[in-house]
Amino acid sequence: MRAAFMTLGCKVNQFETETMEGLFRARGYEVVPFDAAADVYVINTCSVTHLSDRKSRQLIRRAARTNPSACIAVTGCYAQVAPEEIRALAGVRVVIGTKERARIVDYVEASLRENEGIAGTITDIMQARVFEDIPLHSLPHRTRAFLKIEDGCQNFCTFCIIPYARGPVKSRALSAVAREMRLLTEAGFHEVVLTGIHLGAYGIDLTDRPTLADACRTALAEEKLRRLRLGSLESVELSADLLALMRTEPRFAAHLHLPLQAGSDNVLRAMNRHYDTAAFAQLIAEVRTAVPGVALSTDIIVGFPGETEEDFATGMEFVRAMGFARMHVFPYSARKGTPAARRADQVPPAVRKKRAARMQALAEEMAEQYHRSQLGSVADVLFETTEAGVTDGLTETYVRVYTDAPVQRGEILPMRLTHLYRDGVWGEPARAL
- The CATH number covering residue 396 comes to 2.40.50.140
CATH number at residue 100: 3.40.50.12160
Q: Is 135 a domain residue?
A: no
Q: Same domain, yes or no, for 383 and 359?
A: no
Distances in whole angstroms, Cα of residue 168 to Cα of each of 65, 127, 128, 198: 37, 8, 7, 9
pLDDT at 8: 96
- Residues 254 and 320 grouped into a single domain: yes
What is the structure's pLDDT at 134?
84
3-state class of 67 per DSSP? coil
Nearest alpha-carbon partner for 259 in 329, 308, 204: 329
Sign of the C-alpha dihedral, residues 348, 154, 84, 101?
positive
Q: Verify that 199 and 270 share a domain, yes or no.
A: yes
pLDDT at 116: 67
Average pLDDT, the chain: 94
CATH number at residue 187: 3.80.30.20
CA distance 378 to 343: 50
Does 95 reside within a domain? yes
Last residue of a domain, one of 94, 123, 152: 123
SS3 content of the chain, % helix, strand, coil (to 5): 40, 25, 40
Residue at 166 is within a domain = yes
**pLDDT number for residue 387:** 94
Mark whether 218 and 325 lie in a shared domain: yes
Summarised one tens digit per residue, pLDDT across range 168-182 is 999 999 999 999 999
User: Cβ neighbours of residue 43 under 8 Å, at least 6 residues apart?
Assistant: 5, 6, 8, 56, 59, 60, 63, 72, 73, 74, 75, 76
Same-domain pairing of 24 and 155:
no
- pLDDT for 120 equals 81
162 in the same domain as 75: no
Q: How many domains is the chain built from?
A: 3
Residue 131 domain flag: no
Record the pTM: 0.91
pLDDT at residue 88 greater than cutoff 80: yes
Is it the case that residue 321 has pLDDT exceeding 90? yes
Question: Strands 326-331, 170-171: parallel, antiparallel or unpaired by DSSP?
Answer: unpaired
Is 138 domain-assigned?
A: no
Q: What is the pLDDT of residues 38-86, one digit of tens each?
A: 999 999 999 988 889 999 999 999 999 999 999 999 999 999 999 999 9
Higher pLDDT, 176 or 118: 176
8 Å CB contact between 110 and 96: no
Which of 93, 123, 153 terminates a domain? The answer is: 123
Task: Indicate if 104 and 182 belong to the same structural domain.
Answer: no
Range of 45's domain?
Answer: 2-123
Q: What band does 132 get if pLDDT is binned at 50, 70 and 90?
A: confident
Q: What is the pLDDT of residue 50?
A: 86
In the predicted model, is pLDDT for residue 226 greater than 90?
A: yes
Structure confidence at residue 119 as a pLDDT band (50, 70, 90): confident
Surface-to-core class of residue 223, CB atoms within 10 Å of its CB (0-12 exposed, 13-18 middle, 19+ buried): exposed
Is the domain of 119 the same as that of 94? yes
Say if residue 221 is in the same domain as residue 349.
yes
Q: Is residue 14 part of a domain?
A: yes
Domain boundary among 326, 349, 367: 367
Same domain, 236 and 178: yes
* Percent of the chain topping pLDDT 70: 99
Residues 238 and 313 in one domain: yes
Q: With a cut of 70, say whether residue 410 has pLDDT above it.
A: yes
Q: Is residue 137 part of a domain?
A: no
- Window from 138-152, 167-181, 322-336, 369-383 with minimum mean pLDDT: 138-152
- Flag whether 221 is in a domain: yes
Pairing of strands 170-171, 144-151: antiparallel
| Sheet order of strands, 326-331 included | 255-257, 295-302, 326-331
pLDDT of residue 214: 98
Residue 95 sits in the same domain as residue 217: no
